[in-house]
Amino acid sequence: MFKNVAELVELCETEGIQISEAMIRQEMEVKERSREEIYNQMERNLTVMEEAVEKGLQGVQSVSGLTGGDAVLIQQYMQNHEPLSGQIVMDAVSKAVATNEVNAAMGTICATPTAGSAGCVPGTLFAVKNKLNPTREQMVRYLFTSGAFGFVVANNASISGAEGGCQAEVGSAAGMAAAAIVEMAGGTPSQSAEAMAITLKNMLGLVCDPVAGLVEVPCVKRNAMGASNAVVAADMALAGVTSRIPCDEVIDAMYRIGQTMPVALRETAQGGLAATPTGRELEAKIYGINLTK
């Protein structure tokens, strides 16, 4: 059993196992289920993610009209131009956006760790898949690795935008993705922890300010940025770059920042982008509010 990242890394290094394996064993112990049952459930999650990405890349539109079609635009751009930020980063961005557009369109997604941040993990997974050519098992293990870090954040801080701002949602999701990329690319458990720390500390303070209270604007594009952050942080960790602040301390800092964040910036749609003139106009349009009264 592990409670924090330090314990997780120590466990993996002592026993010579991957983070994904540590998470599988913990799930077996906590849920009192067999390895096969735990694995099969995660593989079903992988299938849900795969289907959501594919659906989003075909083009979807939300009921509100606020989001939809951007994943298609990005893919078209990639086909006709050489992206300045590179194929993998933009592919991860498009697939993260695709997932969240499906969520906004009331489609089926897998919360990782929440619905509003569901694009980062699958977006990066299906982007690096084309580079690393993983087996199906390695893809499932990718999800266990991300889940291990999500488990730590959820139990030591928060994954809720209402409680800790978007840093707790997209920030956590991006960190989870970065750690999983590292393991799939052959990195060490320690490097996965560094990738998580690098990612999360660069998303500290990110507010949750959904326009009209809907998980669409700016949520969808924040998943895009989270996915790109994850890919870059993973590369940095694989290069040997470390975070001067340990991962567990970064997670604790994120929690403390969230606790001091004004209520208006924690999923209430009272501040930030939601409170801009355009944000209020969109809210009024969606809900039929007369702003002149």
pLDDT digits (tens, 9 = 90+) for 88-102: 999 999 999 999 999
- pLDDT value, residue 14: 98
Quote helix, strand, coil % in the chain, to nearest 5: 70, 0, 30
Compute CA 160 distance to the chain's CA centroid, rounded to the nearest angstrom. Answer: 13
User: Virtual CA dihedral for 136, 142, 148, 151, nearest 10 degrees?
Assistant: -90
pLDDT digits (tens, 9 = 90+) for 61-97: 999 999 999 999 999 999 999 999 999 999 999 999 9
- pLDDT value, residue 6: 98
Q: How confident is the model at residue 212 (pLDDT cuts 50, 70, 90)?
A: very high
Q: How confident is the model at residue 54 (pLDDT cuts 50, 70, 90)?
A: very high
Domain CATH number, residue 243: 1.10.4100
Calpha distance 146→111 (Å, rounded): 12
- Quickly count: other Cβ atoms within 10 Å of residue 132's Cβ: 16
- pLDDT value, residue 289: 83
Sign, Cα dihedral of 114, 67, 60, 229? negative
Within 13 Å of residue 113, how many CA atoms lie on the same side as its CB?
A: 28
Range of 125's domain? 5-287
pLDDT digits (tens, 9 = 90+) for 100-159: 999 999 999 999 999 999 999 999 999 999 999 999 999 999 999 999 999 999 999 999
- Taking the model in full, what pTM does it have? 0.97
Q: How confident is the model at residue 292 (pLDDT cuts 50, 70, 90)?
A: low
Residue 292 forms part of a structural domain: no
- pLDDT value, residue 291: 64
Residue 44 forms part of a structural domain: yes
Residue 13 forms part of a structural domain: yes
Evaluate if residue 19 carries a pLDDT over 80.
yes
Number of domains in the chain: 1
Mean pLDDT for the stretch of residues 10-25: 98
Indicate the average pLDDT of the chain.
97
Contact 208, 165 (CB under 8 A): yes
Helices (H) and strands (E) in the chain, counts: 14, 0
How far does the chain reach from its first CA to its final CA, in angstroms?
A: 58
CA distances from 271 to 45, 61, 214, 216, 221 (A): 34, 26, 14, 16, 18
- Quickly count: other Cβ atoms within 10 Å of residue 225's Cβ: 17
Q: How confident is the model at residue 290 (pLDDT cuts 50, 70, 90)?
A: confident
Residue 167 forms part of a structural domain: yes
Helix (H) or strand (E) holding 86, with range, is none
Share of the chain above pLDDT 70, in %: 99
pLDDT digits (tens, 9 = 90+) for 163-211: 999 999 999 999 999 999 999 999 999 999 999 999 999 999 999 999 9
pLDDT digits (tens, 9 = 90+) for 223-271: 999 999 999 999 999 999 999 999 999 999 999 999 999 999 999 999 9
- pLDDT value, residue 35: 98
Residue 257 forms part of a structural domain: yes
pLDDT digits (tens, 9 = 90+) for 123-132: 999 999 999 9
Q: Compute the radius of gyration of the chain from its Cα atoms.
A: 19
Contact 100, 219 (CB under 8 A): yes
Compute CA 229 distance to the chain's CA centroid, rounded to the nearest angstrom. Answer: 10
Residue 199 forms part of a structural domain: yes
Residue 293 forms part of a structural domain: no
